[in-house]
Amino acid sequence: MTTKRALLFLSMAFAIASCNINKDLMFKTPIGYDYDIPPEVMDLEYKIQPFDLLNFRLYSNDGFLLIDLTSGSGAVGGGQQNQMMMRNMQNIIRYRVEVTGYVKLPTIGLTKLAGMTVRDAEFYLEELYAEYYVRPYAMLEITNNRVIVMPGSGGDARVITLTNNNMTVTEALAMAGGVAKRGNASKIKLIRNSPEGRKVYLINLAKIDGVADGDIIVQANDIIYVEPVPQYVAEALRDVTPLVGLLTTFLVLINIVR
């Protein structure tokens, strides 16, 4: 009778433990999930997105004052004017891209920059400011670009700052330390917000054929999630071991009493 009860208790313990197995897995997709297909032509440069923060500076005469000041020549406007212009260069103002894609800039007001590369936006702003300045020279920099990388092991997630405008998925994974030991390189999910809604791309870097997908240029606020390999037996044993120990102690006490 005692053996049957022990087996029943053990079965219940495994059943309870199974409810907590692999609860750390995120972004689960059902069997047969229809992943989005990456575009055939990949963007080689990052495009400005809503909520980006932009450092914007503007100079006249094709930026000649910028060159004179940074070289220390002091050839323009006298020493006092040079010092004032140098202070203006250091006081960089950040501008926020609104959800509509527009940025409120001095003089020209609301201007749509979302969807443009940094260089295209600089050319566009130079054209707009040409109405007010002689041969304007625009300098634009995105300061808050970042992606979230989860390499496939708990505690290893990282927020990667995009240091250049053409960082790839493979490069972002490398900056996060690569695919973790438990990570499944054949199931890497790239989760991205787009004007059409949230898109999920499945990338397989376990085979050489998937290198092309690893060259996708990441966008700000992308999530790169390496799905961990499920560990059913290990996690079940981990959860059941304390219960088995309790059962063993209980049986020992019964035998002692008898």
Sign, CA dihedral 152-154-155-161, equals positive
Its domain, for residue 93, covers: 53-142
Instruction: For residue 4, tell me if it sits in a domain.
Output: no
Same structural domain for residues 66 and 93? Answer: yes
43 to each of 47, 173, 220, 229, how far by Cα in Å?
8, 19, 14, 31
Comparing 49-53, 168-172, 187-191, 252-256, which segment has the lowest mean pLDDT?
252-256
Same structural domain for residues 92 and 118? Answer: yes
Same structural domain for residues 37 and 149? Answer: yes
* pLDDT range class, residue 75, cuts 50, 70, 90: very low
CA distance linking residue 160 with residue 23, whole number of Å? 25
| Angle ∠(32,35,37) on CA atoms, nearest 5 | 140
Last residue of a domain, one of 142, 158, 181: 142
CA distance linking residue 233 with residue 255, whole number of Å? 31
Q: What is the mean pLDDT of the chain?
A: 77
Mean pLDDT of 201-220: 86
Instruction: For residue 241, tell me if it sits in a domain.
Output: no
Amino acid symbol at 41:
V
Tokens of 121: 């936006």
**Residue linked to tokens 């989760």:** 191
Q: Enter the pTM of the model.
A: 0.63
Instruction: For residue 105, tell me if it sits in a domain.
Output: yes
Report whether pLDDT(12) > 60. no
| Helix (H) / strand (E) containing 16 | helix 2-18
Q: What is the pLDDT of residues 216-257, one digit of tens each?
A: 888 888 999 998 887 555 555 555 566 556 666 766 676 777
Same structural domain for residues 32 and 62? Answer: no
Last residue of a domain, one of 110, 142, 174: 142
152: domain CATH number is: 3.10.560.10
Same structural domain for residues 136 and 62? Answer: yes
Instruction: For residue 15, tell me if it sits in a domain.
Output: no
Same structural domain for residues 57 and 138? Answer: yes
Instruction: For residue 82, tell me if it sits in a domain.
Output: yes
Largest distance between two CA atoms of the chain: 104
Instruction: For residue 196, tell me if it sits in a domain.
Output: yes
Same structural domain for residues 183 and 136? Answer: no
The total of structural domains in the chain comes to 2
Mean pLDDT of 103-126: 93
Same structural domain for residues 40 and 57? Answer: no
